[in-house]
Structures are given as structure tokens and as C-alpha cells.
Chains A and B, each alone.
Chain A
Amino acid sequence: EAQVTQNPRYLITVTGKKLTVTCSQNMNHEYMSWYRQDPGLGLRQIYYSMNVEVTDKGDVPEGYKVSRKEKRNFPLILESPSPNQTSLYFCASSQTPTGSYEQYFGPGTRLTVT
């Protein structure tokens, strides 16, 4: 089954404690990205990756890092989480970055930083 998986699904952590949210897709997609969703603000893109070893900033990259060492994985790293990073995070992938292909989204990771 074609899917995007994220782990963990729920995470409560404290300010400053480094964490990683994993994202994996099994569709051999080139393009992957991370979004965060906040009430009243919709989904906003954090980082995206065009292919292995190619990543770039989205609209709200501050406080986040990503890496793309393998095509299937695109982890999101919070080196020093802060309460304003409490949010619902979604990973997405698509065959290519062009607008003619659909994006597949993961189930989401709800992060709370206290």
C-alpha cells in the first residue's frame, strides 16, 4: 500500500530537548516536504527536498533542520524545541515537485513543547 508514515504520532517534550520526527514514503517519490498546521494559520511549509541531498527552506524554517540521505526518508529535527513549535506536523511526498502531481500526506505528528 502506497503510504507516508510518520513517527511518533504524538510527542510531549520539554523546552531545549532535541527531538527528531521521522518520515518515510514507499512510493519512490523524489519530492518530500514538511508542513506545520496551526489553528487559524492553515498549513505552512517548513522545508522541502527535491531529491537526495537536495533540501531547501519553506515559509517557516526557523528552528528546524532536515536531512535527505536516502530517497525514502526525510526526518525533521528540532535541535532546541521551544513552546512556539507546539503544532501538528505533516510530512508529504510527490513524484516530482511540479504542480501536475498529487501530494501524499502522512497521518501527522502532534507535538507539544512545555
Chain B
Amino acid sequence: DAKTTQPNSMESNEEEPVHLPCNHSTISGTDYIHWYRQLPSQGPEYVIHGLTSNVNNRMASLAIAEDRKSSTLILHRATLRDAAVYYCIAGGMYSGGGADGLTFGKGTHLIIQP
């Protein structure tokens, strides 16, 4: 997996949009960009993933830079339940030879203020 860089923590207010940035300057052409989140005392939960185009689903939107060296996870209207650690992962494509686990870094601790 390519190395990713995320801020250690971010704070936002409830019902406001949140933009979580991620840099992945060494991403290869076949690496997907995944976002997972981990709520307190739970396992990681899939949020969204994409390759080149921006993606939307019921949970969030993923904006991918044209050069694919960075991406932004957008929560359109944060709630208190969105307080979690958000992980950006670039890679996960099976290489056919080695471990294929998603490389989870330290992520961004998102704090939501009421």
C-alpha cells in the first residue's frame, strides 16, 4: 500500500460539513483509495472507496484530486455519531504474492461538538 498522511485530529460542529484530507503522493495507478472509520469500541467500518472519479454514497462523498496524490472525505452533515477515527488507505490491490491486508495508519480522530 502507498503511504498516506492524515492530520492527527480534527474538530467540527454538529450538522456542519466536514472535509477530511489525505495525502498519498506515492500512489500507483492501480491503487484504490479506501476510507474506513472506527467508532469507539467497534471494529473498522467501510465508508467509501474510489479509483479516479469522485464517488458518492449514503454515508459520504470522496473527492479525488486529478493527479490522485490526495483525496478528501466529505461528510455532508456531521452528527455526534460520526465521531470516530477515520482511516485513509491507498492500495489493497492483490499483488498475487504477498500479504494483502489494508494498511491502516493512525488515522484522523474526528471530534464533533454539539
Q: Which residues of A contact B (CB under 8 A)?
A: 4, 31, 33, 35, 40, 42-45, 48, 56-59, 90, 92, 96-100, 102-108
Shortest beta-carbon distance from A12 to chain B in Å: 17
In the complex, chain B residues whose CB is within 8 Å of the CB of A40: 106
Q: Verify A57–B99 contact, CB threshold 8 A.
A: yes
Q: Which of B65-113 contact A (CB under 8 A)?
A: 91-94, 98-102, 104-107
Q: Verify A102–B44 contact, CB threshold 8 A.
A: no
In the complex, chain A residues whose CB is within 8 Å of the CB of B106: 40, 42
Q: Verify B99–A56 contact, CB threshold 8 A.
A: yes
Q: Verify A99–B105 contact, CB threshold 8 A.
A: no
In the complex, chain B residues whose CB is within 8 Å of the CB of A56: 98-99
Find the residue from B44, B94, B101 having the highest chain A CB count within 10 A: B101
Mostly, the B contact residues are loop
Q: How far is the CA of A4 from the CA of B45 in the complex (A)?
A: 12
Contact of A97 with B100 at beta-carbon distance under 8 Å, contacts A90-B44, A102-B46, A108-B42 already known = yes
> Can you show 12 pairs from A to B with CB atoms below 8 A apart?
A33-B101, A35-B101, A42-B106, A43-B102, A48-B100, A59-B99, A100-B49, A102-B46, A102-B49, A103-B44, A103-B102, A104-B46
- How many residue-residue contacts, CB under 8 A, span A and B? 69
Q: Which residues of B contact A (CB under 8 A)?
A: 30-32, 34, 36, 41-46, 49, 51, 91-94, 98-102, 104-107
In the complex, chain B residues whose CB is within 8 Å of the CB of A45: 99, 101-102
Q: How far is the CA of A102 from the CA of B34 in the complex (A)?
A: 8
Q: Verify A90–B100 contact, CB threshold 8 A.
A: no
In the complex, chain A residues whose CB is within 8 Å of the CB of B101: 33, 35, 43-45, 48, 58-59
Q: How far is the CA of A57 from the CA of B93 in the complex (A)?
A: 17
Contact of A105 with B34 at beta-carbon distance under 8 Å, contacts A45-B99, A56-B99, A98-B93 already known = no
Contact of A90 with B43 at beta-carbon distance under 8 Å, contacts A42-B105, A98-B93 already known = yes
Contact of A105 with B94 at beta-carbon distance under 8 Å, contacts A42-B104, A42-B105, A57-B99 already known = no
Q: How far is the CA of A56 from the CA of B105 in the complex (A)?
A: 22
